[in-house]
Amino acid sequence: MKIKEFIVVEGKDDTVAIQRAVTADTIETNGSALSPKTLQRIKHAQAKRGVIVFTDPDYPGRRIRALIEQAVPEVKHAFLPKQQAIAKNGKSLGIEHASDGDIRAALQAVYTPNLTEQAEEITRDDLLYAHLIGHPSAKARRQRLGEILAIGDTNGKQLHKRLIMFQISAEQFGAALTQLNQEENNE
């Protein structure tokens, strides 16, 4: 599988894992130290071939993603669920620990934000009613919903923003909630 866009990753081990799974060029942020020079490289890469942000599913990865998204809003996003990014020893988390198949699947499910059209908005009340915010199980439900929709792990505010940014329709949202509720009822 060949990827046209540059893939932004956090470090060298992530680059090795990406290049083991697909044919692609990467830009490394060198961890959470996202320098102005690196942001400039990402802007240039976006202008030339496009960029996919593929950071670790942890706080530093979400922070890097947010900084890049703020500087270059039109970047695409790939997300890897935490379970697929845990090292065999269970002590570290990162793209570098994912299987080739999981990396390819995440890159095939890339989201492109639509910055011009507004999707049918899913409201804060919808999130509250679905027990995705303001409920004891909200965090676990958001995490699983993020996996189902392939939009990553979020807090309540980030979830609302991503649903809008990636134009998740009310129908897609409803289908994902139905799956989530069925899974919980089968436990």
CATH code assigned at 70? 3.40.1360.10
Do 13 and 74 share a domain, yes or no? yes
Measure the CA–CA gap between 26 and 16, rounded to whole angstroms: 10
Residue 109, strand partner residues: none
Of 72, 140, 66, 78, nearest to 112 (Cα)? Answer: 78
pLDDT for res 120: 61
Do 133 and 82 share a domain, yes or no? no
Do 22 and 90 share a domain, yes or no? yes
Do 104 and 131 share a domain, yes or no? no
Of 31, 91, 86, 82, nearest to 61 (Cα)? Answer: 31
Q: How many structural domains comprise the chain?
A: 2
pLDDT tens by residue, 11-48: 999 999 999 999 999 999 987 778 999 999 999 999 99
Which secondary-structure segment (H or E) carries 28? strand 26-28
Evaluate whether residue 116 is within a structural domain: no
pLDDT for res 135: 94
Measure the CA–CA gap between 107 and 13, rounded to whole angstroms: 17
Apex 148 CA angle, 82 and 133, nearest 5: 85
Of 43, 17, 45, 15, nearest to 30 (Cα)? Answer: 15
pLDDT for res 113: 77
Do 65 and 100 share a domain, yes or no? yes
Do 67 and 102 share a domain, yes or no? yes
Structural domain of 172: 124-185
Evaluate whether residue 22 is within a structural domain: yes
Amino acid (1-letter code) at residue 53: V
pLDDT for res 97: 95
When comparing pLDDT for 75 and 121, which is higher? 75
Confidence of residue 111 (pLDDT cuts 50, 70, 90): confident
